[in-house]
Structure 1
Amino acid sequence: MTLLHNPVIRGFAPDPSLVRVGDLYYVATSSFEWFPTIPIHRSRDLAHWEYAGHVRGAVPGDSLAGVPDSGGIWAPSLSWDGERFWMVYSVVRSVGTPYFDVDTYVSTATEAGGEWTPPRRLPSHGFDPALFHEEGRLWLLNLQNDHRPGGRRFAGIVLTELDRDTLSQVADTHLLLQHERLIEGPKLVRRDGWYHLVLAEGGTGFEHGVRVARSRGITGPYDLDDRPLLTSRDDPSLPLQKAGHGELIQTPDGDWVLSHLAARPLQTPDGPRCPLGRETAIQAVTWDEAGWPRLRHGGPQPAVEVDVPTPSAEPEPEPPPAAPDESLGWPWSTLRGYADPSWADTTSRPGWIRLTGRHGPESRWAHSLLARRITEHRAEAEVTVEASPRTFTQAAGLVLRYDSEAYLSLDLTWAEPEGEGQHGQQWRGGGRTVLSLVEREEFGTRRAAVVEVDASAPLTLGVTVEDGRARFWYVRQGVRTPVGPPLDFTRLSDDYGSKLRFTGAMAGIHAVDLVDAAFTADFTGFRLTCR
């Protein structure tokens, strides 16, 4: 047996969809407003995972410009029909409204890290689509959304048969199941003559779980199990919280496992918060005498350590996927579009990344940002920056970001001479080059500190995250010099504020030029250490 330690994919990696192809396992996860779209990881033993590629071109036009925070690509579902991979997913363009404004697409590929076909639109009843392949037939599962006044946003699970070649609808859509408790994320598994409908239950927060229903016929009626397969909602002391959104698969040796999302909270005076976002975990599953799936260790609570079967053979690994650019490929991510050479340049100055400033950090369209996932509650990031801002509309620096209303940034920028108030740019020379520490949260922006610096040479900026606090610093004469007070890192989480949030904290570099979109900043030596 092999011992895995959950989460197996750490940091922002929610809604895992697990599939086995031969001796290899693949997981696809949600990317929301971030690119690359739909990251895919692979493993031979379920315990050790590596990045395997992503669905390039998942969004028509390769742009999610304008989508709200935590919009974009929700809950992709990965499947295998014996010849090729299928990826079905929804692009959600409205969050927190009766209308999700959803477009559901499907793309296929012969290799997970290879070329994916251009997306084709499918019936778009709601988010969380999945495909079920059986004896040459193709079925689309989905959540139904009733946007009307008095309607339920989670109005049941529906099933539509599609023509495999044309992807057109074959017959009427079937309503499989409605339930007074919120259910979503449907997946189908057939075993011993039963169709098992695996459902996400209770939303994506601390009430999350996995519930199973079953039927002798694919179109129902479906009967719900009287108890959850997985949940952590009854024990707030568990290290893995928010456990839910599962998928069942069988190993080559006939064992069963469940992939699911989970989160590792930090305890704060305002309650638990999960700045790392929702992560990917694996549980071992057995089947009881009545034919229902159960966690092998007993009860519905997720385990941190799980024994899974050791592969009987060690197959040759697949070749690593080719990144779009060696410097800006995974683990770098960008917002709402790929890193365009027009604003992210790795060739003009070898060993450096040159960012051209564009919109500000709250833009939904053109923010020049490169970031990486924070995977542990203790982390440190640093980077060396060289730039010469000439106005307060130009800035570049190091940022910890959750979304446009939750970020911390230490930026090299311009400010008036010391003692002079803010009156806009006066264009009379003078002014100072400063480091400005800014804290943005749902209710406004606060400048936590301003420090004058000599920017005639490259300047190293850094941040240390520990015990839920972020301490920013810069290096002066070889010594780390703190900038401002420690800031609350836990606000960069799903659980802070009043709005729906579904992603996770990132650390990265950015540049801003609100007037000319021409100011450039050079970065080198970016380092993110999580432990």
Structure 2
Amino acid sequence: MTLITNPVLPGYHPDPSILRVGDDYYIAVSTFEWFPGVQIHHSKDLVHWQLLTYPLTRVSQLNMIGNIDSGGVWAPCLSHADGVFYLIYTDVKSREGAFKDTHNYLIIADNIEGPWSDPVYLNSSGFDPSLFHDEDGSKWLLNMIWDFRKSKHPFAGIALQRYDHDRKRLTGPVHNIFRGTELGLTEAPHIYQHGGYYYLITAEGGTEYNHAVTVARSSSLSGPYEVDPENPILTSDREDPSRLQKAGHGSLVTTQDGDWYMAHLCARPAIDDKCILGRETALQKCYWTEDGWLRIENGPYPDWQVTAPNLASHPLPQEDGHDDFSDSRLKLYWNSLRRPFTQDWISLHERPGFLRLKGGESMQSTHRQSLLARRLEHFHVEVETELEFSPEHFQQMAGLIIYYDTADYVYLRVTHHEELGKCLGIIESRHGEYDELLSEEIALPASSTFLKAKIDREQLQFYYSTEPEQWQSVGDKIDIAHLSDDDAKYIRFTGTFTSLCVQDLSGQALAGDFAYFDYRTGEDKDH
């Protein structure tokens, strides 16, 4: 018996939207302030997954300069009808306080790998939009409704409105079809047809440790919807921390043989409910009861291993964890903050065989950082690089940064000191509070510097060398539990990245050249 091992997309891969077209399965996930927008992963068997493409690659589709932390692309929905792929997504411009500015868009493509169109604006009434294609050919937008008034609950229900594909606009009345259950915080709506009913799948309980999937059904698309008497059908066992946590935000797919599976987000705490990897994607097998309700096999709690469908095994190639920057294009796993890869700040051509980053804004900027990042997808990892950088001022910095967002990061950086000259130190931001972790910075020769970070769950140790493999530790071990959704002044939604970056706060755009980047995983002996 073949098993699916969860999470199928480890590390920061939240809010999955799963789709099958023929023999191909796709999962789209949220990317928030990271560019390019929306990751789409591909599988043939639900066991092996490969990062395939990003549909939002142009500023005309997604302009995130100035977007707040954990803003940007929320909860995409991928669908397919009439030979066309549809992708719905939200670009969140503000989210703290009473108001949320949540602009919803639609793009289309004939091929999953693009080219994808420029966006059609839909509405801004709430987030988590999805597109339902009814059997009669009509198309309907759903999204949660945000209510900022103090006298009301902010999660005000699920909106339904018809989408006119020919006119590229929403049309007709807006129906509030479901106000949720007692769990509250009703979001992430998806509609599926089965056995003569419309089934409305929603996420409730908030996207933390009380997260859940709930179901309601109706014989009419606009309702009223009958609530499943055994809701929630998926949630997490808070009494057993060894199990997957934060399970919720479900999306359904049927196999070629008619089996049903649910993709959902989940999380694995590194220590004390702190999930440094962010929210991940898992799969659960489903079935229908005799009275027509959806159930999770062995549910309602998610399993680490799930029976795979009866499909031929289809392993897919994975990109190498070593990047020597010799290719003309960046590997797919690389991301940037808020802006696309343009020659004014990043280049693989100006110095062939090196990644050149031109110094950008500070680590707390929400505009133009020069930072190239790869997701942290394992609890036990070593990342390593070689840097050539000749700073002439303390405002010029470059190095290896373990980054969550503008408030939380730990940075092994090369800079210039008036007495030491070129030197090495560690900067930390914890909940937005700046600190320098070395009492005395380390003087460096003019030659290149090797930098390494070793991560063991919530513990980080930095190393450096001026000769290959002659590593010396830098400072003490650092607790990085604050690089998580769960250890912040306000709720947030992304995950930890291992990153290369260069800052030049003088505005001269001094460049740093990186010879390679290694991401090496240790054995994850525990979940």
Structure 1: how far apart are the matches of 2:152 and 2:242? 35
Please, what TM-score do these two structures have when normalized by structure 2? 0.93
Q: What is the CA distance between 1:124 and its match in structure 2? A: 2.3
Structure 2: how far apart are the matches of 1:489 and 1:243? 24
1:445 lines up with 2:457 in the alignment:
no
Contact 1:352–1:522 (Cα < 8 Å) also in 2: yes
Q: What is the CA distance between 1:490 and its match in structure 2? A: 1.5
Match of 1:278 in 2: 279
Contact 1:208–1:233 (Cα < 8 Å) also in 2: no
User: Residue type matched to 1:495 in 2?
Assistant: D
Match of 1:321 in 2: none
Contact 2:408–2:432 (Cα < 8 Å) also in 1: no
Which of residues 471, 492, 495 is equivalent to 1:501?
492
Structure 1: how far apart are the matches of 2:215 and 2:353? 52
Match of 1:245 in 2: 249
Distance 1:220 1:41, change over 3 A: same
Contact 2:234–2:302 (Cα < 8 Å) also in 1: yes
Match of 1:424 in 2: none
Structure 1: how far apart are the matches of 2:283 and 2:247? 10
Matches for 1:92-107 after TM superposition, within 5 Å: 92-107=92-107
Matches for 1:261-410 after TM superposition, within 5 Å: 261-267=265-271, 271-297=272-298, 299-311=299-311, 326-410=328-412
Match of 1:421 in 2: none
Contact 1:432–1:452 (Cα < 8 Å) also in 2: no
Structure 1: how far apart are the matches of 2:198 and 2:445? 65
Structure 2: how far apart are the matches of 1:438 and 1:11? 24
Distance 1:490 1:316, change over 3 A: closer
Identity among equivalent pairs (%): 39
Q: What is the CA distance between 1:521 and its match in structure 2? A: 0.7
The runs of 5 or more residues in structure 2 that have no matched partner are 318-326, 523-527
Contact 1:451–1:483 (Cα < 8 Å) also in 2: no
Structure 1: how far apart are the matches of 2:309 and 2:497? 34
Contact 2:140–2:162 (Cα < 8 Å) also in 1: yes
Give SS of 2:30's match.
Answer: coil
Q: What is the CA distance between 1:489 and its match in structure 2? A: 1.7
Match of 1:224 in 2: 227
Structure 1: how far apart are the matches of 2:329 and 2:463? 25
Structure 1: how far apart are the matches of 2:139 and 2:278? 33
User: Residue type matched to 1:213 in 2?
Assistant: A
Contact 1:233–1:242 (Cα < 8 Å) also in 2: no
Q: What is the CA distance between 1:60 and its match in structure 2? A: 3.2
1:523 lines up with 2:523 in the alignment:
no
User: Residue type matched to 2:275 in 1?
Assistant: C
User: Residue type matched to 1:468 in 2?
Assistant: E
Which of residues 184, 188, 201 is equivalent to 1:185?
188
Distance 1:192 1:62, change over 3 A: closer
Count residues with an aligned counterpart: 508
- Bigger mean CA deviation after superposition, 307-316 or 482-491: 307-316
Q: What is the CA distance between 1:436 and its match in structure 2? A: 1.3
Please, what TM-score do these two structures have when normalized by structure 1? 0.92
Contact 1:345–1:354 (Cα < 8 Å) also in 2: yes
Which of residues 434, 454, 470 is equivalent to 2:423?
434
Q: What is the CA distance between 1:350 and its match in structure 2? A: 1.4
Match of 1:169 in 2: 170
Match of 2:139 in 1: 138
Give SS of 1:199's match.
Answer: strand
User: Residue type matched to 2:173 in 1?
Assistant: D
Give SS of 2:166's match.
Answer: coil
- Bigger mean CA deviation after superposition, 437-446 or 43-52: 437-446
Instruction: List per-residue Cα deviations over 1:163-187 (Å, max 9, x = no partner).
Output: 1211323321111111341110000
Q: What is the CA distance between 1:312 and its match in structure 2? A: 5.4
The runs of 5 or more residues in structure 1 that have no matched partner are 318-324, 418-430
Structure 1: how far apart are the matches of 2:244 and 2:31? 21
Q: What is the CA distance between 1:476 and its match in structure 2? A: 4.0
User: Residue type matched to 1:14 in 2?
Assistant: P
Instruction: List per-residue Cα deviations over 1:431-465 (Å, max 9, x = no partner).
Output: 42111101111151110014323331111001100
Q: What is the CA distance between 1:239 and its match in structure 2? A: 2.9
Q: What is the CA distance between 1:314 and its match in structure 2? A: 7.1
Give SS of 2:156's match.
Answer: coil
Contact 1:65–1:366 (Cα < 8 Å) also in 2: yes
Structure 1: how far apart are the matches of 2:301 and 2:168? 39
